[in-house]
A and B are shown apart, each in its own frame.
Chain A
Amino acid sequence: DTGVSQDPRHKITKRGQNVTFRCDPISEHNRLYWYRQTLGQGPEFLTYFQNEAQLEKSRLLSDRFSAERPKGSFSTLEIQRTEQGDSAMYLCASSRWTTVEETQYFGPGTRLLVL
């Protein structure tokens, strides 16, 4: 069984650098979500895709953030010109959406530290 996988698991970068994270969803899951979690908070929605179409972006997703899912399979999340406030756990989730009541399954996350 292959669940949701994320790479890398940890990333340390200097302020101003660009970083890119990858998420591989569960096979045949048509929806893919990105969330961000900071200390003491629950995960917060960033954006999601249905197949290759990006359907919604949160206002948390500034113009320094971009996400893609070019072939409707894996997705990448890029952060340009990182800031210390970007330090967080970035979580990816996928689901097999039909109409309602979809259950999202999460990956292990990528922990980003911006120095």
Chain B
Amino acid sequence: DQQVKQNSPSLSVQEGRISILNCDYTNSMFDYFLWYKKYPAEGPTFLISISSIKDKNEDGRFTVFLNKSAKHLSLHIVPSQPGDSAVYFCAGESSGDKLTFGTGTRLAVRP
């Protein structure tokens, strides 16, 4: 049972443009969502999070949107930079418990 789904395994974007990464979830008990960025041979790096009581959270070039009724969240990166090229994972958390991750989206930002 895949509780968190990232249906796009890869995304390619031109430098300076917007990157939009999507994530869907099925577990209604998730009350906190996080995005992590991962480079090869390294552990995931925390990027940004959002509580289920909010619909938007912004941090610099990164914004996460949450649509609870659709059980959908998205990460917007504006403007995209070549250093953003990595695998991005979304994760759901219930009551401060373990994380359930999606399968990741590989973002390539072309110079």
Contact = CB atoms under 8 A, between A and B. Distances in A.
A33 B100 CA distance: 12
Given A41-B104, A98-B96, 9 more contacts: A33-B99, A42-B101, A42-B104, A44-B101, A99-B96, A100-B32, A101-B32, A101-B51, A106-B46
Interface string A35-68: 1000011111100100000001000000000000
On chain A, which size bracket covers the interface?
A: 20 to 34
Interface of A is mostly: loop
A105 B103 contact: no
Given A42-B102, A45-B98, A104 B46 contact: yes
B91 interface: yes
B93 interface: yes
Interface in B12-64: 31-32, 34, 36, 41-46, 49, 51
Interface of A: 4, 6, 33, 35, 40-45, 48, 56, 91, 93, 97-109, 111
On chain B, which size bracket covers the interface?
A: 20 to 34
Centre residue among B4, B42, B91, B97 by max chain A CB count within 10 A: B97
5 contacts: A100-B32, A100-B96, A101-B93, A108-B42, A108-B43
